[in-house]
Structure 1
Amino acid sequence: MRQVLRTLEEQVQPAHAALLVVDMQNDFCAEGGYLQRTRAATSRNPIRVEDNVVIARNIEALAAAARQPACRWCGRSVYDFKYLADAHLAKRTDEALCIEGTGGVDFFQIRPQPGDLVVDKHTFSGFFETELHDLLQARGVKTLVMTGVATNVCVDSTLRHGFFLGYNVVVAEDCVGSGNQAAHEGTLSTVRVNFGTVTDSAALRTLLGE
């Protein structure tokens, strides 16, 4: 008989939980990064770098408290046009976001530690045409603890894909963010109803540090 992990305490155990850090990169998060630079003067939803600093600090504290999670994973977007599908290219106007070999693709304030997995991705989901699922399965992962940006795009796409693959989904509410607050709240609401659990990093630090 299959064991269904129903409670947060059952799902978030170090032996089978993975901390996923999505797209904490300069082009998404930093002062002068692509999104902050291109949206500063024209967007109703400008990138607030100070918010990203807080998110990074919360993620670092969560990672530090997790003594022995099954694994930690840092997803890194690389969006050179040569990697993108036609449908993705149709939404892009210039080739300047997360280009390999540039500072924009580098991690923002967070640095992977020895033993952490780093997986490059070329679309919004961290699972699409990457080795992430195989790596997590090899480590016995059953639960994804989601952090990073943007809540409504790459975090959302990765957690949904993970849910379809059979993982339990937990979102650390104070460790995710988006320049679009309404969309951010929409994703959190949808997760609560359909995909998993939304909680704060303090609760997760307790569970992962046990």
Structure 2
Amino acid sequence: MSNILRTLAEKAQPRHTALVIVDMQNDFCAQGGYLQRTRAESGRHPIRVDENAAIADRIGALADGARRSGAAVAWLRSVYDFKYLAEAHVAMRDAEGCCMEGTWGADFFRIQPREGDIVVDKHTFSGFHETGLHAQLQERGIRTLVMAGVATNVCVDSTLRHGFFLGYHIVVAEDCVGSGNAAGHEGTLSTVRVNFGEVTTSVELLRLFGKHAPADALSAL
């Protein structure tokens, strides 16, 4: 039991850490994307997307720092054509149209994967359910997941819980996650602090990653 990772610094060692970027896609994040558009059209309280650009920029900076330090970077991308969804998922949707395969809505928002990153398509809220994510992380010796993306209380939450059940240490970068549901966002962060792992900032994670980055990479900053 002596090798259990207990502190944030131990958990965030780049050699066994993956930054997992969840659903940073136009239909979830962009003005005119599915969530913002359909909420406005239905007359329901619209989803606010104005904070998503800043979230994306912070995730991009964190991903750059992770790569420089040797940590893995994994991207989850939702593809929600009804042909891929379970009946229970279809029943919760008003109509087909969110993150349709090959569309602008399914494209990444503002930030993009780089060569060497992991990219995994998923057809439900958890990035581990019937995907190759776990196998790819295990091949790289990953023990810790640093979670970023949207929505905090839906796909980020579902993926981090699934990851915890698979044995991964969980760290949430609180300034790199977002949701249109403020109560749900805060609820997930509170639950992680108590039950699943660590909640910290991208600034702190960049500081920890920076301790392990090669000197030539640091001089380029």
TM-score, normalised relative to structure 1:
0.97
> In structure 1, what is the equivalent of residue 194 of structure 2?
193
SS state at 2:60 partner:
helix
**Matched AA of 2:159:** T
Percent sequence identity over aligned pairs = 68
> In structure 2, what is the equivalent of residue 95 of structure 1?
96
SS state at 1:146 partner:
strand
The higher radius of gyration belongs to 2
CA distance in 1, matches of 2:2, 2:9: 18
CA distance in 1, matches of 2:65, 2:48: 26
SS state at 1:188 partner:
helix
CA distance in 2, matches of 1:124, 1:209: 32
SS state at 2:69 partner:
coil
SS state at 2:51 partner:
helix
CA distance in 1, matches of 2:40, 2:152: 19
> In structure 2, what is the equivalent of residue 57 of structure 1?
57
Q: How much has 1:101 moved relative to structure 2?
A: 1.1
CA distance in 2, matches of 1:117, 1:64: 14
- Deviating beyond 4 angstroms after TM superposition, the runs of 4 or more aligned structure 1 residues are none
> In structure 1, what is the equivalent of residue 4 of structure 2?
4
CA distance in 2, matches of 1:166, 1:43: 39
> In structure 2, what is the equivalent of residue 138 of structure 1?
139
**1:71 and 2:78 aligned:** no
Alignment length (residue pairs): 209
Q: How much has 1:40 moved relative to structure 2?
A: 2.7
Q: How much has 1:2 moved relative to structure 2?
A: 5.6
The answer to whether the 8 Å contact 1:29/1:47 transfers is no
More helix by share: 2
Unaligned runs of 5+ in 1: none
- RMSD of aligned C-alpha atoms? 1.0
CA distance in 2, matches of 1:125, 1:58: 23
SS state at 2:14 partner:
coil
Superposed, 1:114-193 pairs within 5 Å as 114-193=115-194
> In structure 2, what is the equivalent of residue 27 of structure 1?
27
Unaligned runs of 5+ in 2: 212-221
Superposed CA deviations along residues 91-138 of structure 1, whole A, max 9, x for unmatched, are 012110000011000000011000001100000000000000000000
The answer to whether the 8 Å contact 1:17/1:144 transfers is yes
